[in-house]
Structure 1
Amino acid sequence: MGYRVIVTATRLAEPAIRRLEGFGASLEFLDDALTEEVLAATAARSRLDAILMRNNPPIGRRVFAAAPDLRVIAKHGVGYDSLDVAAATAAGVPVLLATGANAYSVAEHTIALILALGRDLVRLDGRMKAGHWDKWHYSGREIRGRRLGLVGFGAIARQVAVLARALGLEVQAYSRRTETIDPALARPVATLDELYATSDIVSLHCPLGPDTRAMIDAASLARMKSGALLINTARGGLIDEAAVTAALHAGTLAGAALETFAAEPPDPANPLFSAPNLIVTPHIGAHTGSAEDAMGLMAAENIIQVLSGGTPDPANLVNPAALGRK
């Protein structure tokens, strides 16, 4: 029996393609800039068994109505805020994540941003190329001994803590599930306010939801230490970009390094990009060969697990209530 699998992107790691095709799946690749209308129309062409969700395409009730035989959605990564989980659950479609597959890659990128921002590498590079020699005037700051505050303590934050401690950073973390914080890696803090007030560097590693959207706003920025740095390798919607722009211009926030944005790709005219002491990267923290192979293979295995009648790994399952509805 053959299976029809839609991939919501133009590419997938070769090991994942081979694994799925070896299982008997036929893969259809769609354009990265994908609308729900296009996805629903594509789904409706013939029986659809699975969606391998790359990037963040909108997947809602229209897609589930167009694909009544859909049995699983497997995310290539862990972010799923563009997916209507309630609609998936109502349709009996389990949503599975590639939990931990990209953790080291994104953690490494987080540390790279901390180092680049903390040592002014991008600004100094630009000044030197413009003819300035700042050797006698510049004084940097070591990150050793500074306090890193992690918002969230999932697989990525855990790896950030390991790397940060090796560099001599003091690490603390806030999570709504305090029991997930390993005290050997990070000191648990009771509230976000405490983390903001006592961290030299604040790094975001939590999912985007109604209670975390724009959590970094003018009020939370005002509670941060003077001279603090802000890092976001999680979801762009966690940040009020206008508030961060204002704080950077005012100097109350010493610097920010952002990997994700509220709208992707962002408008080049976004006022955020005029802010000083800002480093931006195009949501590529997980784009290493090793991470893409791992995410692709885990997504493939999640699809195969469901289509072969197995029980999904609870650590990867977003909506357990979907099981048994079909």
Structure 2
Amino acid sequence: MEILAFGVQTDEKPLIEKAFEELHEARCLDVFLTEDTAPIAAGYAVISTSVNCDLGARVLRILAAGGTKMVAQRSTGFNNIDLDVARQLGLTVARVSYYSPYSVAEFAWTLAMAVNRRVVRAAGRTRDFDFRLDGLLGRDMRGRTAGVLGTGKIGEAFTRIAHGFGMELLGWDVAQNPACVELGMKYVDKDRLLAESDLVSLHVPLLPGTRHIIDADALRSMKDDAILVNSSRGGLIDTDALVTELRAGRFAGVGLDVYEAEAGLFFHDRSLEGVADDTLARLMTFPNVLVTSHQAYYTVDAVGQIVGTTVENVTDYLAGRHTENVLVPEAPAR
């Protein structure tokens, strides 16, 4: 059976092809699944998608009409998939429940330290042989407070690094993580965490209840010189509200690996054309903001695990097995 994979990055392609070669054959496309590209999947019973593919109702109906029976998403998040419509159409949907949490946690810290120590600005200067230190003053992390919103596997990994820096630890989640408590984390309400933290890092999934969890009120409650990092999902932050606060001169640094309107932008080369997104363009103008292109997960370790689990999901589907990775099971025969 040939599997059609959408949104495959150059570095990812050989990993996918090698992983599938023993059991299946994979056709890799660099284009993302959209309403316009969905007809390409006609005749493919199984497709694989990335997190920035569109799996809304209209796309799912095109897939189903073309004979697609199973969607294997190559990510943990699935906010881009209309699961109710998939269920109505009898489409099986699976995801990758787990991959290296260290990939994302370590990159979140990369963003935090890059904005704290003005690394991008410094690197740009030294390329021009400007070795002044003006405007590059950072802060020690030791003794300061890290606030972690979401203390699952990735949040725990982030917390362990913060503990290694010698930071005070505040956490917020629907349930306490005993491993974080052992590290000295104190669980508090969200308002207190935002008000007291010098560094706030987001590690919650994007759900209806967490969309814009960092809204205008939340941003105003944070310290003026706080650092905010988001390596989870862009929709967790009200970006327009963030721009308003940045224009007021607030925050020591903001590191964003995700953006709420990133679909159609991230993972594409837009360097030779104008970007119509005024909010993103405005974000890029602030010297204390660093935006990267949803790459926190992008390590050989994590991508290898993602691809391996995707192969297992397809194999399990073909064998009629249901695992924890299945979001929408196979429709029962009628």
TM-score, normalising length from structure 2? 0.84
Residue 325 of structure 1: aligned partner: 332
Task: Give SS of 2:252's match.
Answer: strand
Task: Give SS of 1:166's match.
Answer: helix
CA distance in 1, matches of 2:120, 2:261: 24
Task: Give SS of 2:148's match.
Answer: strand
Conserved in 2, the CA contact under 8 Å of 1:232 and 1:257?
A: yes
Deviates more, 1:101-110 or 1:187-196: 187-196
Residue 31 of structure 2: aligned partner: 32
CA distance in 2, matches of 1:220, 1:181: 27
Task: Give SS of 1:257's match.
Answer: strand
Deviations along 1:94-144, one digit per CA (max 9) or x if unpaired, are 432223314211111111111112222223333444565445886431111
Paired residue for 1:300, among 290, 294, 311? 311
Task: Give SS of 1:173's match.
Answer: strand
Change (3 A) 1:180 1:137: closer
**What root-mean-square deviation, in Å, do the aligned CA atoms of Structure 1 and Structure 2 show?**
2.6
Conserved in 2, the CA contact under 8 Å of 1:202 and 1:230?
A: yes
Q: Offset of 1:175 from its aligned partner?
A: 1.4
TM-score, normalising length from structure 1? 0.86
CA distance in 2, matches of 1:229, 1:242: 17
Instruction: Give the counterpart letter for 2:18 in structure 1.
Output: R
Residue 56 of structure 2: aligned partner: 60
CA distance in 1, matches of 2:302, 2:213: 28
Does residue 73 of structure 1 match 2:41? no
Residue 231 of structure 1: aligned partner: 229
Change (3 A) 1:74 1:153: farther
CA distance in 1, matches of 2:182, 2:90: 40
CA distance in 2, matches of 1:64, 1:96: 14
CA distance in 1, matches of 2:134, 2:34: 53
CA distance in 1, matches of 2:248, 2:189: 26
Change (3 A) 1:70 1:188: farther
CA distance in 2, matches of 1:163, 1:80: 27
Does residue 119 of structure 1 match 2:106? no
Change (3 A) 1:80 1:136: closer
Conserved in 1, the CA contact under 8 Å of 2:7 and 2:50?
A: yes
Task: Give SS of 2:20's match.
Answer: helix
CA distance in 1, matches of 2:294, 2:51: 10
Counting matched residue pairs gives 316
Change (3 A) 1:140 1:64: closer
Conserved in 1, the CA contact under 8 Å of 2:104 and 2:154?
A: yes
Conserved in 2, the CA contact under 8 Å of 1:161 and 1:186?
A: no
Task: Give SS of 2:54's match.
Answer: coil
Conserved in 2, the CA contact under 8 Å of 1:7 and 1:51?
A: yes
Conserved in 1, the CA contact under 8 Å of 2:149 and 2:204?
A: yes
- Gaps spanning 5+ residues in structure 1: where? none
Identity %: 30
Change (3 A) 1:140 1:235: same
Paired residue for 1:203, among 201, 211, 215? 201
Residue 251 of structure 2: aligned partner: 253
Deviations along 1:202-255, one digit per CA (max 9) or x if unpaired, are 111112232222222221101112311100111112222222122223222221
CA distance in 1, matches of 2:77, 2:93: 11
Residue 274 of structure 1: aligned partner: 285
Conserved in 1, the CA contact under 8 Å of 2:8 and 2:50?
A: no
Task: Give SS of 1:183's match.
Answer: helix
Does residue 18 of structure 1 match 2:15? no
Does residue 49 of structure 1 match 2:45? yes
Q: Offset of 1:323 from its aligned partner?
A: 5.0
- Gaps spanning 5+ residues in structure 2: where? 267-274
